[in-house]
Amino acid sequence: MLPEGPNRDPLAYSIYCYTAYMTSRSDVLREVMLETSTTQSGLSRLSGVRQPSISGFLSGKVEMSDDQLNRLLCCMGFQLEVVRRPIVPTLTRSERRSWQLHRRLSTLLNRQGFDDWRPTILRNLDRLGDHVTGQPHERNLDRWREIVDRGDLPGLHRVLTGLDRESIEMREVSPMSGLLPDEQRRDVLRPAG
C-alpha cells in the first residue's frame, strides 16, 4: 500500500515505487520472449548471444545490464525504457556527516585549491597507508592515490559528493583531513547534530 500524506517517508515511498513498478531485467526479457514466442535458441540466433548466457539471464544467475537487455529486446522488436526518479538514500549518521564535510570541500575544490592541497593530501595518504589494513580500505587508498596523481578533479568531485557505496567507503579512508578550515567544519557539523 502506498504511503500517504505530504510527510510520507521518502525511503518507504522509494521502496514502494521500486517494488510496485520496477520489474527485474530477467522478468522483462521473459515477458517479451513469451509475447513474441521467441525461444532461447531463437533469440541466440537473432542476437549472437550464446544460449547458455540467455538462460543465465532468465534465471538471474548471470547479471544483465540495461544495454544488454535493450540489445536482446531490439532483436524481438522492443526497446527498453528506464524510468528514473530521485530518492533520498539511507545513510548512517556517520556517513551523512562525512558526506556533508566532503561536500563542503568539493565546493572549495578548483585547480588552484587542488595544487595547494596536494602536499597535504599526499602526506595524509602516506600516513593512512602506514595504519590502514584490510579491504576495501587498502584498495580505496590506492584509488585515492590514483585520482590525486592524475590530478583528476572531476573524479575527486565524484568521490567527495557521491552517495554510491563505493564513494561512501572511499570517504572512510579520506586523505582530505586538515583541509577544511575549523570554522567551516563547525558550520557543517552544527546542523548535523
Per-residue model confidence as pLDDT tens digits over 103-155: 999 999 999 999 999 999 999 999 999 988 888 899 999 999 999 999 999 99
> What's the pLDDT score for residue 6?
45
Q: Which residues contact 120 (CB under 8 A, 6 or more apart)?
A: 178, 179
CA-to-CA separations, 33 to 26, 42, 43, 85, in angstroms, rounded: 10, 10, 8, 28
pTM for the model = 0.60
Q: Which fold has domain 10-75?
A: 434 Repressor (Amino-terminal Domain) (1.10.260)
Reading the block at residue 7, the C-alpha cell is 510527510
Q: Where are the domains of the chain?
A: 10-75, 93-192
**Which residue type, as a one-letter code, is found at position 153?**
L
pLDDT exceeds cutoff 80 at 169: yes
pLDDT exceeds cutoff 60 at 25: yes
**From CA 8, how far away is CA 119, in angstroms rounded?**
46
Averaged pLDDT for residues 84-112: 91
Reading the block at residue 36, the C-alpha cell is 513474441
Percent of the chain predicted with pLDDT > 70? 87
Q: Which residues contact 123 (CB under 8 A, 6 or more apart)?
A: none
